[in-house]
Amino acid sequence: MGAWGAGLYSNDDAADFVDLIRAALRLPQPVDKLVSLLLKEAEEEMEHRALSVLILADQLEKRGIRHPETYAEAINVLEFGSDIKILRDLNVDEKDIRSRTESNMKILSRLKNPRPEKPRKPLKKPQPAVVGVGDYVRFPTQHRGSRNPYFPPGREDFRADGWGIVQVHDMGWEFECLNWVKLIRLEWEHQHPPCAQDAENAPPVDNLAFGTLSPSHFKRMEMEIIGNQPPRADASPPRPGERTARFAALNDISIANLLIGYV
């Protein structure tokens, strides 16, 4: 369990659950199915169902998404003080509990009189994969860092003076919809563009890492697939505590974040 505070979102598990909710609501599935998925995930991520239901109901209401069953269960939690009992069991200070109780009354009011419903804008289909397992990908670099795809084209201060290489070791989809990749960076110190044979001979310079790679980032970073070989055996596993495939996909952490500041 993460660190605890008196606020509904004051512990680490709650913050992670909000990220999961945000991502899940992008999936092209009915709300009933998404709620079931989220509550099932919460069984593994959060210790108390009362808290996960309360967070889920609060997030749905804030987004104008109606789900009467979740609202009703959360209202029951608030009216019976189930979450307050959890805080007392954790020896949270009574002053903080009074503050939480006041906050709960505001949530209760919103759940009983929810805001007008708003249409969701989910993804229409699974995110496309722009690379495959085993692909070697090259891209231009400046001071060994890639072009920043978050800058508007033409506005970034980027003058290519070399090349970077990565190999894709794995890829897939979270919830059959949110794409992720697992890759290794390879050493290339020459100014001429590497070919497939160069990539095969280039040594790793870091551990395997997870991220996302959208078609727009692939294009803006001027990436190019130059070959494909089985994932190399000399790649070290991700470091302990590094982001997972799920974390990268849910939070849309581009592999550009791994490559922009490459030194």
Q: Residue 45 contacts by C-beta under 8 Å, 6 or more apart in sequence?
A: 13, 16, 17, 20, 52
H or E stretch covering 23: helix 12-24
Question: Model's pTM, two decimal places?
Answer: 0.76
222 pLDDT more than 70: yes
Considering the chain, what is the average pLDDT of its residues? Answer: 91
Residue 142: helix, strand or coil by DSSP? strand
At 188, list the tokens: 């290339």
Strand-strand pairing, 145-146 and 135-142: antiparallel
H or E stretch covering 146: strand 145-146
Q: For 33-46, what is each residue's pLDDT tens digit?
A: 999 989 988 887 77
pLDDT band at 15 (very low <50, low <70, confident <90, very high): confident
**pLDDT of amino acid 92:** 85
Q: Which amino acid is at 145?
A: G
- How many C-beta neighbours within 10 Å does residue 20 have? 21
CA 201, CA 197: separation in Å to the nearest integer? 6
CA 249, CA 226: separation in Å to the nearest integer? 25
Contact 167, 136 (CB under 8 A): yes
DSSP category for residue 239: P
Q: Which amino acid is at 107?
A: I
Q: Residue 44 contacts by C-beta under 8 Å, 6 or more apart in sequence?
A: none
Query: Which of 199, 197, 178 lies closest to 188 in space, CA to CA?
Result: 199
Q: For 143-164, what is each residue's pLDDT tens digit?
A: 999 999 988 776 778 899 999 9
Taking the CA atoms of 60, 61, 65 and 66 in sequence, report the sign of the dihedral they define: positive
